[in-house]
């Protein structure tokens, strides 16, 4: 017997046989791609772990308000009203949230919380200062993403100029980091891979799927194919075409 605990503010939907649960007021995803019956989903919703997630979402929803024209206000607007936010993938939203969490906790030595800064006084030199401090507090790649996120928000927000636009990156990618594997490297990886790694490795190498795509595949994606008899097929999010 499942003891139903009333949890307010949830948006529960089913798509292609999977369940998705989000916190309605913020759009935060709490359960993604749950496979099972509604009864099994209710058991998950009644679990201790989910109740903690729900409580955390409620706590985050009670975020403080910010004065009009401040950095905090424009970030809040971006998340709650800007269509660009809704189009981001869950992974991208997670990256943005990391930047927001960092900025919300950041303080200027004399001016106080960064979220209280009027965006009208934010200049490119001040963005460079934010980037450099973030790189020192975290790492270069994090700082570059932070600037990129600010640039996007400033670009779609009510800004005359984009002070984060054109800021140079700190992180330089290793040109050999993403080189195409040689046949010898592929065979070595397949030979050494565990069962859990072998399947996505083969799908990525020979089907061309990205890591996020491999992680979301189910047997429903394994369909009849005219050339091979059977093949994995997915609908790409960007162009809505099967691959």
The predicted-structure confidence for 115-148, as pLDDT tens digits, reads as follows 999 999 899 999 999 999 999 999 999 999 999 9
Confidence of residue 25 (pLDDT cuts 50, 70, 90): confident
| pLDDT at 4 exceeding the cut of 60 | no
Contact 25, 13 (CB under 8 A): no
Specify if 243 maps to a domain: no
Specify if 241 maps to a domain: no
pLDDT of residue 55: 85
Specify if 242 maps to a domain: no
pLDDT of residue 80: 86
In terms of domains, do 57 and 76 share one?
Answer: no
CA–CA gap between residue 63 and residue 76 (Å, rounded): 9
In terms of domains, do 123 and 188 share one?
Answer: no
In terms of domains, do 14 and 79 share one?
Answer: no
Domain boundary among 61, 81, 101: 61
- Counting the structural domains of the chain, the total is 3
Give the domain extent around 129. 71-157
Specify if 175 maps to a domain: no
CA–CA gap between residue 35 and residue 18 (Å, rounded): 5
pLDDT of residue 102: 94
In terms of domains, do 132 and 113 share one?
Answer: yes
In terms of domains, do 119 and 79 share one?
Answer: yes
Which pair of tokens denotes residue 179? 């080189």
In terms of domains, do 138 and 197 share one?
Answer: no
Domain boundary among 122, 157, 192: 157
Greater pLDDT, 243 or 236 = 236
Q: Which of 2-11, 38-47, 78-87 has the lowest mean pLDDT?
A: 2-11
| pLDDT at 206 exceeding the cut of 60 | yes
| pLDDT at 54 exceeding the cut of 50 | yes
In terms of domains, do 78 and 120 share one?
Answer: yes
Specify if 169 maps to a domain: no
Count of H-run helices and E-run strands, the chain? 10, 7
Compute CA distances 15 → 20, 21, 37, 73, 88, whole Å: 8, 11, 13, 34, 18
| pLDDT at 158 exceeding the cut of 70 | no
In terms of domains, do 79 and 145 share one?
Answer: yes
In terms of domains, do 151 and 99 share one?
Answer: yes
CA–CA gap between residue 167 and residue 148 (Å, rounded): 9
């Amino acid at each position: 017997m499942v003891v139903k605990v009333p949890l307010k503010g949830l948006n529960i939907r089913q798509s292609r046989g999977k369940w998705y649960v989000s916190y309605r007021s913020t759009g935060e995803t709490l359960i993604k791609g749950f496979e099972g019956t509604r009864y099994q989903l209710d058991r998950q919703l009644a679990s201790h772990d989910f109740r903690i997630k729900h409580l955390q979402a409620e706590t985050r929803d009670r975020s403080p308000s910010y004065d009009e024209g401040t950095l905090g206000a424009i970030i809040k607007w971006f998340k709650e009203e800007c269509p660009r936010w809704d189009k981001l993938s869950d992974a991208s939203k997670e990256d943005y949230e990391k930047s927001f969490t960092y900025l919300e906790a950041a303080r200027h030595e004399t001016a106080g919380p960064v979220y209280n800064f009027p965006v009208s006084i934010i200049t490119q030199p001040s963005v460079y200062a934010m980037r450099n401090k973030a790189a020192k507090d975290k790492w270069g790649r994090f700082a570059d993403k932070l600037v990129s996120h600010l640039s996007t928000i400033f670009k779609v927000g009510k800004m005359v100029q984009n002070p984060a636009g054109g800021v140079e990156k700190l992180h330089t990618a290793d040109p050999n980091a993403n080189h195409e594997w040689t046949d010898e490297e592929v065979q070595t990886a397949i030979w050494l891979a565990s069962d859990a790694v072998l399947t996505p490795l083969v799908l990525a190498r020979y089907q061309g799927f990205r890591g996020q795509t491999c992680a979301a595949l189910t047997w429903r994606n394994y369909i009849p194919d005219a050339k091979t008899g059977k093949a994995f097929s997915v609908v790409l999010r960007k162009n809505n075409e099967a691959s």
